[in-house]
């Protein structure tokens, strides 16, 4: 009898550990001015079942449209996209409870910040309307120090500079930045311990005039970069080495017979590095699926509706089992099941109802 109870206890403990292992924190940034939202939300997400439950939220945070989590999982940094009143905020974060504690904020020194990254030393922000990059130091308590550097990017084709993204290279030696306003991708040498010149320009590459580079991502081996262009739907493949991009191929996420408004949004690669996904807003509201070849080039595998309007951002959970799409205009997150063999996605029927979700990040529980 005692032996049986011991075995049952071991099974129960093992089952609980497995259940905990499959769960991640899903952190969601929202727009707060068009509907009722407290700002940042945290859900427990089960990567085995696709189930979720609400854990916690911030309090009265203005338009935290993009987020980043510290490496130690103790802090969350958010942009506050609010025109000339825009800021960058720091929060203490408890992964178990999902509780946020506001620490401080700094002026973003550029209107409408739209992307944010961080490491042990700095918080780096892309200011869309400001057309520049702001670099802030980090203090030991997780607070954001005053800005160390402001990097200007100048406009050409669309009439105004629109810095749309900042992104670390895999080795953290460089920061890449897309500018929708001048159709360029910049490469900056990253000097994390510098007092002033944290980012030093080393290279830039132009893409098709009027294409509007928005988001990019690195392939799993770090040898290729994939760039999604908002205004014409182009998807460009670059080889990458030591901060330098070289174009090797180009395709599109736009169907041949498409006649509507183009507005591509986000791009991500599956955790196994085999498939690439890219969303198109405008009137399409769909997601394109590509298989990644060994030479880095893309093979189109299909396109499907995201089942909502304004698929601003999406995320693939770390297990690769699910793909979640945040719809800014239909106020929900649609949960798709992912086929790891074919890359195809199917609707689970599960939805997270939330005001204007625009950023999805998975973090450890």
Query: Tell me, what's the pLDDT at 8?
Result: 52
Query: Mean pLDDT for each consecutive 10-residue tract of the chain (365 residues)?
Result: 55 48 93 94 98 97 98 98 97 98 98 98 97 97 97 77 97 98 97 97 97 98 98 98 97 93 97 98 96 97 98 98 98 98 98 98 96
The number of residues making up the chain comes to 365
∠ CA 24-33-153, rounded to 5°: 80
> Which ranges of the chain does DSSP label H, i.e. alpha helix?
2-21
**In angstroms, what CA-CA distances link 344 with 47, 49, 228, 270?**
17, 17, 20, 11
What distance in Å separates the CA atoms of residue 343 and residue 47, rounded to the nearest whole number?
17
Q: Are 263 and 286 in contact (CB under 8 A)?
A: no
* Token pair recorded at residue 259: 């006649």
Q: Which domains does the chain have, with CATH numbers?
A: 81-90+110-354 (2.130.10.10)
């Amino acid at each position: 009898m005692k032996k049986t109870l011991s075995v049952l206890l071991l099974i129960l403990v093992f089952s609980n550990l497995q259940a905990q292992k499959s769960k991640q924190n899903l952190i969601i940034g929202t727009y707060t001015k068009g509907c009722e939202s407290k700002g940042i939300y945290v859900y427990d997400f089960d990567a085995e079942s696709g189930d979720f439950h609400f854990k916690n939220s911030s309090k009265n945070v203005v338009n935290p449209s993009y987020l980043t989590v510290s490496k130690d999982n103790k802090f969350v940094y958010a942009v506050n996209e609010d025109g000339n009143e825009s800021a960058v905020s720091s929060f203490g974060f408890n992964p178990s409870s999902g509780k946020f504690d506001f620490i401080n904020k700094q002026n973003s020194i550029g209107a409408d910040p739209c992307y944010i990254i961080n490491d042990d030393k700095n918080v780096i922000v892309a200011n869309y309307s400001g057309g520049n990059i702001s670099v802030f130091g980090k203090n030991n308590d997780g607070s954001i120090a005053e800005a160390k550097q402001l990097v200007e990017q100048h406009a050409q084709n669309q009439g105004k500079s629109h810095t749309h993204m900042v992104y670390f290279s895999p080795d953290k030696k460089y920061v890449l930045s897309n500018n929708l306003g001048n159709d360029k991708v910049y490469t900056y040498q990253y000097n994390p311990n510098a007092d002033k010149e944290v980012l030093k320009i080393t290279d830039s590459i132009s893409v098709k005039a009027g294409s509007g580079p928005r988001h990019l991502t690195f392939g799993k081996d770090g040898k290729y970069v994939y760039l999604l262009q908002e205004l014409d739907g182009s998807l460009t493949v670059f080889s990458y080495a030591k901060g330098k991009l070289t174009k090797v191929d180009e395709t599109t996420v736009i169907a041949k017979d498409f006649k509507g408004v183009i507005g591509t949004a986000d791009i991500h690669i599956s955790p196994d590095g085999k498939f690439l996904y890219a969303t198109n807003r405008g009137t399409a509201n769909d997601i394109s699926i590509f298989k990644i070849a060994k030479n880095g080039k893309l093979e189109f595998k299909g396109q499907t509706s995201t089942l909502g309007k304004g698929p601003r951002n999406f995320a693939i959970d770390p297990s690769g089992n699910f793909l979640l799409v945040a719809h800014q205009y239909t106020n929900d997150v649609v949960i798709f099941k992912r086929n790891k063999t074919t890359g195809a996605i199917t609707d689970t029927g599960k939805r997270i109802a939330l005001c204007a979700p625009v950023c999805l990040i998975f973090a450890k529980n």
